[in-house]
Structure 1
Amino acid sequence: MEIKAYAKINIALDVIGKREDGYHLLKMIMQNIDLYDIVQIEKIASGITLKCNKSYVPTDERNLAYKAAKLFKDIYNIESGVHINLEKNIPVSAGLAGGSTDAAAVLKIMNKLFNINASEHELMELGLKLGADVPYCITGGTALCEGIGEKVTKIKPFKDKILVLVKPPFGVSTKEVYKAFDLSKVIFHPKTEELILNMGNNNINFVANNMKNLLENVTLGRHRVISAIKDEIKECGAIGSMMSGSGPTVFGFFDDMLKAQKCYDKMKEKYLDVFITRTI
């Protein structure tokens, strides 16, 4: 059994507080894009095996998909094993929820494969044990995510918007970015409600000009190249550009496929991980 595990971007990422356990309280607009990994699972006699098309991706318990399979087996007392085949297209440590979306896919497939019939809500609760982005990745689409990511509210779809994504040649640790984030220094927060309203009205100009990610300054401070990529994407004709998640991937919205294609071609001369895609 196989499914597509879609990447996400953040259209807004707001930090509104901090819990006693150190977790940040978030308010994020998440959006799936048409860039995906393919996750395939088959039953085997026992244990968990994982194979991946990218040699730098760990295939043991360090992998989130592996962790998801182990968690599912433990929770539902599943005796038989699984073999996971992971076809990675989403860059890793990129702010695109590549690991989280694979984990979500594993939970969804195993739920069907073993006829557990757990509800979406149960899968989301399970997903939260693996990471804050996993509950959203279970539902996907266009959503407002709150709390530490576990409160997911579907909002009107913002689909078929053209995007160019550029990931510079390094990864970023989400944990480290949140550790360095200082809420007391924030002056302007994202206009989340206004963004949701304008997304509902398909007003891409408002969205592209007002999207905001509070983690951007932390990662930009460490990697100046991110600012340069944002500027270059805008010079190519993007309506607006921003970093996704904790970074380092930058995306730009385009109102014209020709401009997007030219931007893709230009950025591809400098960077390996460049994608032209759409919101779904």
Structure 2
Amino acid sequence: MDTIRLKARAKINLGLDVVRRREDGYHEVKMVMQMLRLYDQIDIEKTQESGILVRSNLSFLPTDERNIAYKAAKVMIDQFGLEQGVIIRIEKHIPVAAGMAGGSTDCAAVLYGMNKLFGLRLNQKKLRELGVKLGADVPYCLMRQTALSEGIGEILTPISPLQDCPILIAKPSVSVSTRHVYEHLKLDEQTMHPDIDGIVTALADGDLYGVTDRMANVLETVTVPEHPVIDEIKKQMMASGAVNALMSGSGPTVFGIFDDEEKAKKACEDMKASGLARQIYLTRPFNQKIKDTRKNKRKR
């Protein structure tokens, strides 16, 4: 095998809580992570010459050592003494700097792909250990299924997936620094913490509305005041029939969950007409194991 093509999938946070800031500066989180069918395409090709070459369809995306996919390839080459190099082609669709793990999922795909290409036979545990050194979301992106994420993101517990439903994605023309958001997050007695355990239970029950009723993201307290367009997008989605809408990760991307395909398609057109967002996608959850569809407990 000299080439491999992979789908590096986006994620959303159905719930995101920050439990505390540790003395070492890291934040402990408790999040429900769900993968989407939206993906970047990653092609990795072995070369006879040593070295790493990254190419992308986006002219503004760094293709040198600043690119996390490049860093992943370098870790694999250095760690295992690989003599051959690689060409990595990244076809981006996931919004950049958007709270959807676009860079982390590309990184995870490179770790996984090079493991296969070079016959390293690393298990997922070892790949995750390499991945967490590159980014907190990388271990989850290697996991590729719905999970409860704790610690600094490295403690992952598989949970029941979100049932199949339309999900509208909208990213405004602003970018957000995750570091900036966490540095400016204030945690005190007034902080409203999401009911993460309730979301996990609702997922296990196949209760879509039990999930959407509890969707919340503590990082909105920082990002939304700085970028009011996020709240405008949420309101637009709700007005167009979303069961609920939420900012993903540190933002600024907003996702809306729908219980009706036609409503979702109309909402997508409404969002495009509004001019609020630069990148808009209508997608669905990606689940490795499709669970039995159960009727929602509450009609809307």
TM-score range, shorter chain: over 0.9
Is 218-227 or 150-159 further displaced after alignment?
150-159
TM-score norm. by structure 2 comes to 0.92
CA distance in 2, matches of 1:130, 1:12: 23
Report the equivalent of 1:279.
285
In structure 2, give the amino acid aligned to 1:58. Answer: P
Aligned equivalents of 2:140 and 2:40: distance in 1? 16
4+ long deviations beyond 3 Å: none
Work out whether 1:3 is the aligned partner of 2:6. yes
1:56 correspondence with 2:60: yes
Please tell me whether residue 209 in structure 1 is matched to residue 202 in structure 2: no
Cα deviation, residue 186, structure 1: 4.4
Residues 272 and 187 of structure 1, relative CA distance in 2, 3 Å threshold:
closer
Shifted more, 182-191 versus 261-270: the winner is: 182-191
RMSD, aligned CA: 0.9
Give the gaps of 5 or more residues in structure 2.
Answer: 287-300
1:225 to 206, 219, 229: 229
Q: Is the 8 A contact 1:159 1:278 kept in 2?
A: no
Give a deviation string over 1:6-43, Cα, whole Å, max 9, x none.
00000111111122210100111000011000111011
2:27 to 24, 27, 35: 24
Matched to 1:144, the amino acid is L
Any conservation in 2 of the 1:6–1:101 contact (CA below 8 Å)?
yes
Q: Which residue of 2 aligns with 1:184?
A: 188
Compute the TM-score of the two structures, normalised by the length of structure 1: 0.98
Sequence identity, in percent? 49
State the distance in 1 between where 2:184 and 2:221 align: 10
Comparing 179-188 with 82-91, greater Cα deviation is found at 179-188
Q: Which runs of 5+ in 1 are unaligned?
A: none
**Equivalent position amino acid for 2:147 in 1:** A
Deviations 1:54-101 (A, max 9, x none): 111111111110111011111111111110010100010000000000
How many residues are treated as equivalent by the alignment? 280
CA-CA distance at 1:185 after TM superposition? 5.4
Could you tell which deviates more after superposition, 202-211 or 135-144? Answer: 202-211
**Structure 1 position 272, deviation (Å):** 2.7
Q: Deviations over 1:121-168 (max 9, x none)?
A: 110010001110000000011000111000111111224121101100
The separation in 1 between residues aligned to 2:206 and 2:117, in whole angstroms, is: 38
Deviations 1:198-254 (A, max 9, x none): 011121112112111110110001011111111110000000000000000001110
